[in-house]
Amino acid sequence: MAASGKVTVVLKAVKNITVQFCPFESNVGSTRMFLSVMSSHKVRATNLNCEVISTVKHDRTEPVVEITYLDGDKLMMKGAKLNCSEMLSSFQSMCAAKELQAKLAAAKK
């Protein structure tokens, strides 16, 4: 299970997370793991306003994770060829960058 004990995911800068996947496809494992990580208590407790919206489809489309941040930026991850740990690391790096930006903006003020 990726990110089990080392780094916790912080959702401070995230507005909502939308996950779409088709469960009968074979490339959905990483997306489903990502969804279960995002929906866990620890992660949700970091930001109670963040919504995790999941849609189950049946049209052979690729699994997609779309993350909308508070400042309007969007991160779209196509989970067909991605590993769960890769998705988590890219998400965490974006979140860290956003937090830095927010800190700098707060320091300037």
Partner 1 sequence: MAATLCRILLPKQGWLPFTQCVRHGSKAVTRHKRPLHFLKQKLMSVTRYIPPPRPAPPGAYPRQTIRDQEDDPFTLLVKKNLKSVFQESKMVAVVQNSGSTADEMMLLKYKLHKHGITVKFFPNQVVRSFLKDSTYSNMAPLFIGHTVLFISKEPKVKEMLSSLRTSRHMLLLGACIDNTLLSAQGVVSYSKLPSVAVVQGELVSGLTLLISQTAAMLQRHPAQLSALLQQHVKQQSSEGAPKAQEAT
Q: Does 35 bind partner 1 (CB under 8 A)?
A: yes
Q: Does 97 bind partner 1 (CB under 8 A)?
A: no
Using CB atoms within 10 Å of the CB of residue 25, give its burial: 0 to 12 exposed, 13 to 18 middle, 19+ buried: middle
Judged by CB under 8 A, the residue of 7, 8, 12, 24 near partner 1 is: 24
- How far is the C-alpha of 109 from the C-alpha of 107, rounded, in Å? 5
Q: Write the DSSP assignment of 44-86 as a string of letters.
A: HHH-TT-EEEEEE--S-PPPEEEEEETTS-EEEEETTS--HHH
Judged by CB under 8 A, the residue of 2, 10, 29, 94 near partner 1 is: 29
Decide whether 3 or 98 has the Cβ nearer to partner 1.
3
Q: Does 66 bind partner 1 (CB under 8 A)?
A: no
Nearest to 93 by CA among 15, 30, 9, 19: 9
What tokens were used for 38? Answer: 């995002």
Decide whether 19 or 95 has the Cβ nearer to partner 1.
19
Judged by CB under 8 A, the residue of 54, 68, 83, 89 near partner 1 is: 54
Contact residues: partner 1, CB under 8 A: 23-26, 28-29, 32-33, 35-36, 38-41, 44, 52, 54, 56-58
